[in-house]
Amino acid sequence: MIHQDDAQSRYERFLETYLSGELKLVNAGLPRARKSLADLLQEDQPSVLCSDGSQQLIKRAELRYLQGLLDEDEQRMLMLPILIEMTGSGNDAIVLCPTEAEAKVVAEVLGMTPRQEEPGRVRVYRPQLSVLRRKLRTTTQYAFSVRALE
């Protein structure tokens, strides 16, 4: 009986560990601290520090593209990488837009103003997500939250 209990708790521990490990793995690319577009443009080798301790390189071509979309104030406001929160539905995602600059970038890249359900949270659908990721490969990052799993 003791053995069975032990085996079961081990099994649950394994599942718990796997869940937290998977969350850690998928969120390994999240930045520890985000940097503004204006700051990144000043850097010789633009990069941000990720949660797993690695440096994510940000392409200059993308920074120049974003620079062309925004004025100087907005360049200081725009924090990179832009976070895309997965909702768990598989059909859509939420782009976190704490300032107007992020929302403007999303609107410009998609060529339309997407639905903003709550302030600072822009909902994008799968085809739009594909377009966004294609144009901003290193300046956007996926975020998987436990909230989405509830």
Partner 1 sequence: MAQIMKVRPTKIELVRLKRRLKLSSRVQKIVKDRLSILTMEFLQAARDTVKAKQHAIDAMNQAYKAMTIASGYHGYVALQKELVACEADITVAAGPRSVAGVRLPSLELNEPTGGLRGYNLTQTSSLVDSASDTSREALRAIIELAELQRGLELLGTEINRTKRITNALEYILIPSLQATIRFLAMKFEERDREEKARLKRVKALLAAKEA
Interface with partner 1, residue 32, by CB under 8 A: no
Interface with partner 1, residue 112, by CB under 8 A: no
Place of tokens 């925004």: 70
Interface with partner 1, residue 147, by CB under 8 A: no
Binder of partner 1 out of 35, 37, 40, 56 (CB under 8 A): 56
Smallest gap from residue 51 Cβ to partner 1 (A): 9
Binding footprint of partner 1 on the chain (CB under 8 A)? 1, 4, 8, 11-12, 15-16, 18-19, 22-23, 25-29, 45, 47, 50, 52, 54-57, 59-61, 86, 88, 90, 126, 129-130, 133-134, 137-138, 141-142, 144, 148-149
